[in-house]
Amino acid sequence: MAQTTQRDPARKSGGEPQTAPQGGMRTLRGLAQRLGFTGQNATTGVGGAQKPRSKIWQFLFGMIIFVVGSQLAAYVLFFLNAQFNLGLNSIVLIPASVPLIGGMTPFLLLYLALVIMLWVLLYRFNIIPKDPFGAKAAAEARARERVTVSAGSHRTRSERRRAATATKTQAEPRRVATVSHGDEASDEAYERMKAAQRARRRRAAKR
């Protein structure tokens, strides 16, 4: 008998189930990439050279999403508080006498938590770039350039020192080999011959 197998739609997709925040952030990131707001490289110039695109537009796009998301979070909290009569604004968690955080209510605490979570998600999924103005990248490039120049200069000096040492080492054996002739008698004869040649040069120079 022929057996029929049923395929699970979840297995057919071949991926793990994604949570709603992750799916939303990836959708926003894809939209930013299609609109050209991300800091990816763009192929321009002669020979297909890659020129990094500025991240300022990506930063502005991320800040717009952050502001809109913060307002939506406040509206959602207002709606839930009014719909279910939660009384989030009627309870004071911290007395008003405490500086800076005095008069904290559950509504304000939840709103701050949502805003911080929204900022972390935007930063985590690179909707808001980590270096929007390129200051960190420029500093790293200058540091690498200084290290490269310094290493090149040290390498040049060391090579010059090694070359000078090798030249001296090669010149000394040649001089010894030229002077040395195997025994003392031949050395003395050689010295007398050289002295005679120097004397003849002096007399020729005086004339």
Whether 147 is in a domain gets the answer no
Q: In this structure, how many other beta carbons lie within 10 angstroms of the beta carbon of residue 109?
A: 14
User: Is 4 part of any domain?
Assistant: no
- Indicate whether this model's pTM tops 0.75: no
Q: Per-residue pLDDT tens for 61-85? A: 999 999 999 999 999 999 999 999 9
What pLDDT was estimated at residue 190? 86
Q: Which residues pair with 51 in a beta bridge?
A: 42
Structural domain of residue 66, as residue ranges?
19-40+50-134
Residues 130 and 186 in one domain: no
pLDDT tens figures, 98-149: 888 888 999 999 999 999 999 999 999 989 988 887 788 888 888 888 887 7
Domain membership of residue 162 (yes or no) is: no
Residue 109 maps to a domain: yes
Cβ(37)–Cβ(57) below 8 Å: yes
In a domain, 158, yes or no: no
DSSP-derived secondary structure for 59-92: HHHHHHHHHHHHHHHHHHHHHHHHHHT--TTT--
CA distances from 121 to 38, 73, 108 (A): 16, 14, 20
Residues 109 and 29 placed together within one structural domain of the fold: yes
